[in-house]
Amino acid sequence: MDYKEILFSLENGLAVVTLNREARKNALNSRMRLEITHAMQQAAAQARAVVLTGAGDAFCSGQDLSDAGNGGDLDLERTLRDEYLPMLEAIYDCPVPVVAAVNGAAAGAGANLALAADVVIACESAFFMQAFSKIGLIPDAGGTWFLPRQIGLAKTMGAALFAERISARKASAMGMIWEAVPDAEFAAHWQARATYLANGPSKAFAATKTALRDSNGNSLAEQLQLEAHLQGQCGKSRDFLEGVTAFMEKRPAKFEGR
């Protein structure tokens, strides 16, 4: 695909997907959603880690309300079903670690786009906002699924009803995101984090994602069975052999990748 609304790079196993509508604060239009979906599918097949970030001083300001998608008035139900669903599934179901490097405002669908990632790292000047009620809507783009699981119902309800800005530092403190980083250190920090993941044990990372996500619907016995199965697979991998050998030899492990 010829990318027009995003930038895509792939180097040394690390794919970086940059939302690139800076003049519109990286608001999501139909073309951008299609490109993100395609880029995530490409990264899933070729990369060992993926970063989602934004160009300029915003991560993503949410849905571009001036965009009518495939023509006519903006049909929110169709747009969410046919465009947001495949995009969010491509991010959430990606077999390799996905990092959202939130470089600025993440509002509405933009906030929930970030929360679809495995790990969210934000600069301290960034904020998250469930802005939907301000225009008479409910949280969408997965917000009603991601947020209750991350911060609980009470905090989610307040975030949805009051539609207030939640600073990156507060988001980190309440468990919405992994960490907030000083702006001056942000770029170098997320790049180092992403490089670590791209050089890590890909099979173990994929199994970790499966185990943690499935735990929400499992009993303890079911989860222990799943752990045993996944750990058995990891224990047969070359990465495990390399990890143990490196530990015994007191050197950094060099994992082979996918």
Ranges of H-type helices in 47-165: 76-79, 85-92, 109-115, 143-151, 153-162
Say what the pLDDT of residue 70 is: 47
202, 253 Cβ separation under 8 angstroms: no
Q: What is the pLDDT of residues 209-254, one digit of tens each?
A: 999 999 999 999 999 999 999 999 999 999 999 999 999 999 999 9
CATH for 6-198, options being 3.40.720.10, 3.10.20.90, 3.90.226.10, 3.30.70.270: 3.90.226.10
User: Are the folds of 6-198 and 202-248 the same?
Assistant: no
Flag residues of the chain having pLDDT under 70. 68-73, 257-258
Say what the pLDDT of residue 71 is: 47
- Distance CA(69)–CA(65), nearest Å, equals 10
- Distance CA(9)–CA(68), nearest Å, equals 29
Give me the residue spans of the domains in the chain: 6-198, 202-248
- Cβ count within 10 A of residue 48: 24
Say what percent of the chain tops pLDDT 70: 97
User: CA-CA distances (angstroms) from residue 195 to 10, 165, 184?
Assistant: 12, 30, 19
- Distance CA(191)–CA(198), nearest Å, equals 10
User: CA-CA distances (angstroms) from residue 185 to 16, 50, 132, 175, 182?
Assistant: 18, 20, 31, 21, 5
Can you give the pTM of this predicted structure? 0.94
CATH of domain 202-248: 1.10.12
- Distance CA(32)–CA(87), nearest Å, equals 10
Cα torsion angle, 174, 177, 178, 179, sign: negative
